Structure formats: structure tokens, C-alpha cells
């Protein structure tokens, strides 16, 4: 597919927030997550110059692989923090852009997501914000489809339990933001 060379910007702007969010489930710091996304996106785009959306699962797989490599080595992270102002972002930087009226509920939800076991958090990030199917998640993570679906189900159950005390707070958010979806 032939595409103008600046098409990567459109594709990047669309995917980068989701990719960084996913990478943050795998590495500790924002600066590391952005490093990972930088490397993964550049490699992916060079192999897939049109930015074909059918190959997005490969991009998530690349993010995962690079994240795991990065976790094994602390050297690169130390260098990056020394030379870049990105280092001022701490690992406590919010994962989401909260709407003004929902700032508190967003914080509650984000905290609940962060407290999920890492493997469940990863599947939730890929499924909800990455928009991947369970088959694609299985390919990206190297697990079976059943494992991916099971982790997702456990994650939702855990979130349900964690957020139950705040049901009243989330009721307005649900009604205000989205129409109910049949179970």
C-alpha cells in the first residue's frame, strides 16, 4: 500500500494513547512505556508502511515483546531519565484523561484497574482500549483464547467487587455517558 510519508502521524495520533496505556501495564514508568511505544511503532510502520489496521495486533505484540525485554534491563531506563524531561513524569501519572465532572469516579475506576493482577490488567487493556478480539489477544500474549477470555472474565468480576461500594457514584456516569447494553 502506497501512502504519503506523513500518514504515520495520523495513525500514531490515533494509536499512541492506547499503546502507551498498554505499555504502562507492562513496565513501571511512563518514560519506559513511551520508549517502548516509540520503538514498537517505528518498527511496525517500517514493515507496514500503510498502517494497515489489520496488523494492529502485531503492533501490540511488539509493544509486549519490547516491554518484557526492557523490564529485564534497567540500564536503558536510567539513561533515558538522565537525558530527558520525560523523566519528570512519575509512575503515578494518570492513565486516563478524566472529564472534569467525572474526575473522582475516573480516579476510583483507575485505582481499581491498577489493583488488578498484571495478567488480568493486560487483557483488559488490550480488549477495552486496544479493541482486540480474544483471538488477537491470544496471539499477542502467546496464550490460548480460553486463557485470555478467562482472565478478562476474572478481571471484570474483580472490578465488580472492587467498585460495588461506589455503585451510586458510577450509576450517574453510566447513564450519562453511554446507553445500557444488553448483557
Cα separation, 183 vs 174, in Å, equals 15
Which CA distances in Å does 153 have to 1, 25, 127, 149, 150? 38, 18, 11, 6, 5
122: nearest Cα among 33, 10, 1, 8: 33
Q: Which of residues 58-117 bind other proteins (CB under 8 A)?
A: 84-86, 89, 93-97, 102, 106, 109-110, 113
Closer residue to other proteins, CB minimum distance, 65 or 142: 65
Q: Rounded to the nearest whole angstrom, what is the least distance from the CB of residue 164 to other proteins in the complex?
A: 7
In terms of Cβ atoms closer than 10 Å to its own Cβ (0-12, 13-18, 19+), residue 67 is: buried
Give the interface segment with other proteins, choosing from 10-18, 52-60, 61-69, 135-143 (CB under 8 A).
10-18
Give the interface segment with other proteins, choosing from 32-40, 56-64, 114-122, 135-143 (CB under 8 A).
32-40
In terms of Cβ atoms closer than 10 Å to its own Cβ (0-12, 13-18, 19+), residue 162 is: middle
What does the binding site for other proteins look like in residue numbers (CB under 8 A)?
5, 8-9, 12-13, 16-18, 20-21, 30, 34, 37-38, 41-42, 45-46, 84-86, 89, 93-97, 102, 106, 109-110, 113, 124, 128-129, 153, 156-157, 159-160, 163-164, 167, 170-171, 173-174, 177-178, 180-183
Amino acid at each position: 500500500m502506497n501512502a504519503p510519508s506523513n500518514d504515520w502521524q495520523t495513525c500514531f495520533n490515533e494509536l499512541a494513547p492506547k499503546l502507551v496505556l498498554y505499555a504502562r501495564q507492562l513496565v513501571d514508568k511512563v518514560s519506559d512505556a513511551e520508549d517502548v511505544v516509540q520503538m514498537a511503532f517505528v518498527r511496525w510502520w517500517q514493515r507496514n508502511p500503510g498502517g494497515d489496521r489489520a496488523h494492529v495486533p502485531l503492533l501490540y505484540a511488539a509493544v509486549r515483546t519490547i516491554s518484557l525485554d526492557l523490564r529485564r534491563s534497567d540500564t536503558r531506563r536510567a539513561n533515558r531519565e538522565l537525558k530527558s524531561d520525560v523523566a519528570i513524569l512519575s509512575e503515578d501519572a494518570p492513565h486516563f484523561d478524566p472529564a472534569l465532572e467525572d474526575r473522582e469516579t475516573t480516579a476510583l475506576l483507575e485505582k481499581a484497574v491498577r489493583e488488578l493482577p498484571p495478567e488480568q490488567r493486560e487483557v483488559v487493556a488490550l480488549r477495552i482500549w486496544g479493541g482486540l478480539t480474544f483471538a488477537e489477544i491470544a496471539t499477542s500474549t502467546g496464550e490460548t483464547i480460553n486463557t485470555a477470555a478467562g482472565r478478562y472474565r476474572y478481571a471484570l468480576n474483580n472490578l465488580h467487587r472492587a467498585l460495588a461500594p461506589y455503585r451510586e457514584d458510577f450509576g450517574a456516569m453510566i447513564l450519562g455517558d453511554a446507553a445500557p447494553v444488553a448483557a
